[in-house]
Chains A and B, each alone.
Chain A
C-alpha cells in the first residue's frame, strides 16, 4: 500500500512569490493534517481536514496560507505571498477515521520550502 506522498520534495522561491504544496494521503484515510517545522523549532500543527471539511485550522499562521481538500482526496497548501519566515519543512499526515480515539498518523516525506 502506498504511503502519504508529497510534491514537490523541495521548492526554492523568492519572497513575494506563490507556492503550492500537494499532499496525497493514504487511500481511504479521511483525516488529513498539515504540519510545519521551521529550523530550530519543533514540528507544529497547521490544520486538520476530515474528508473535505476543515476540522481545525487553529495552527494556520496567517491569511497568506490557504489549504484546500476538494473532493476529500488530495490536499493543497498555498502560500501567497511567501515570506522569509515561511521557510521550513511542511509535512502532511493522514489517518483513518476512528470513533472516540486517536488513530496513528502516517507522515509523508515532507516538502522543504526555502524562501529567499
Chain B
C-alpha cells in the first residue's frame, strides 16, 4: 500500500463548479498535512496546511479525519487558473521534517 494515495484524475469541470479531492495516508503517526499545487513543469507550491478542525482559505476548504486517515480538499467556484495537479502531502515528523507526497490529482477547469 502506498503511503499517500490519491485519485490521479483528471477531473474535468466547468468554470464555477465545485470539486472535491480526497486522499488517504497509511502512517497513523503522521502529524502534519498539506495540499500543494503543481503547475505543469513547475515546482510544487504550498496551497494550504490541513488542520484537524478543518480550515478554509477563500474558495478552498481542507478537512482532516485522523480516525479514517483521510484528507480532503474542496474547491468552490472553480476558475480556469485552478487547473493544476493537487498534491496531498504528509509529514510523519518522527523528529524530522521530510514530506511524503501522493502522486497528485489533476484538475482541468474548462470555460
Contacts and interface: CB of A to CB of B under 8 A. Distances in A.
B61 to A, nearest CB: 19
B101 A43 contact: yes
Contacts, number: 49
A42 B91 contact: no
Interface residues of A, number: 24
Q: How large is the interface on B (under 10, 10 to 19, 20 to 34, 35 or more residues)?
A: 20 to 34
B81 interface: no
Contact of B98 (A42, A59, A107, A108): A59
A56 B4 contact: no
Contacts of A107: 43-45
Given A102-B32, A102-B93, A45 B100 contact: yes
Interface of A: 31, 33, 35, 41-45, 48, 55-56, 59, 91, 95, 101-110
Nearest to A91: B43
- Of B4, B44, B97, the most chain A CB neighbours within 10 A belong to B97
